[in-house]
Amino acid sequence: MENMKGKVAYITGGSKGIGLGVAAALLSQGMKVAISGRGTKSLDNAKNVLGGSDEVLCISSDVTNFDDEKNAVTQILEKWGALDVVLANAGVGHFAPVDELSLSDWNTMVNTNLTGAFYTLKAAMEGLKASKGYYITLASLAGTNFFASGAGYNATKFGVVGFTQAVMLDLRKHGIKVSTIMPGSVATHFNGNEPNEKDAWKIQPEDIGELVIDLLKMNPRTLPSKIEVRPTRPDLK
């Protein structure tokens, strides 16, 4: 995208953390941004953080519900008439040894992290085909590095990486670019964390925002399809 001004993005899980950081970055480039989440209060707070502009559309949607995602895309197309970028960012993590991992926590991770990414893409497919747009998933270094007590989270993030890479091969014939971003530790509210000065060594949400801008501005002949990103100095923690 040589000129991002006026382009339309949809970010799931956009009310805080990485999603909110990316939304702010895209708005700074003149894009119109729809963010979704399950909580209306957090969405209202996010809109205030983003300046309350009419260039921001807040949508209540649960990515585990395909009808919600179809409705979200419909609202975006009705408001702005196009959909150029989709970031499947919504995610959740529950960590426990596999013999202690509950069925509920397993299903929540699979339905949100993996099925949710599929539902979002499926709902946005025709819009992305029309715009020859960009679909990006937010995976994790946990999608390539396994660890104890991470059976469910590892399974879903490995799945997101594999899903996205296969999707990339399927959709490039339609002119759609597809990438997955795999961050290490990020200063977000993930897993109950409250970001503070102790998180200064981590990747910051705005850093992921800069990375997404770089992807969108990449020469269209070149596709960084899988990007690993990690803190420079984890030893500072």
Residue 15 contacts residue 90 (beta carbons within 8 Å): no
Task: Specify the pLDDT at position 192.
Answer: 63
φ, ψ dihedrals at 170, nearest 5°: -70, -40
pLDDT of the residue at 229: 97
pLDDT digit string (tens) for the chain, length 237 residues? 778 999 999 999 999 999 999 999 999 999 999 999 998 899 999 999 999 889 999 999 999 999 999 999 999 999 999 999 999 999 999 999 999 999 999 999 999 999 999 999 999 999 999 999 999 999 999 999 999 999 999 999 999 999 999 999 999 999 999 999 999 999 876 656 677 788 889 999 999 999 999 999 999 999 999 999 999 988 776
CA-CA-CA-CA torsion sign (41, 46, 51, 52):
negative
- Determine the Cα–Cα distance for residues 3 and 73; give it in Å rounded to an integer: 23
pLDDT value of position 191: 59
* Coil, helix or strand at residue 11: strand
pLDDT at 190: 66
Look at residue 124 in the predicted model and tell me its pLDDT: 98
| Pair of tokens at residue 37 | 């989440």
pTM for this model (two decimals) = 0.95
Residue-range domains of the chain with CATH: 8-236 (3.40.50.720)
Q: What is the model's pLDDT at position 125?
A: 98
Supply the pLDDT for residue 189: 65
pLDDT of residue 225: 97
Residue 39 confidence (pLDDT) = 85
Active-site amino acid positions: 140, 153, 157
Long-range contacts of 77-80 (CB under 8 A, 24+ apart): 77/127, 79/34, 80/8, 80/32
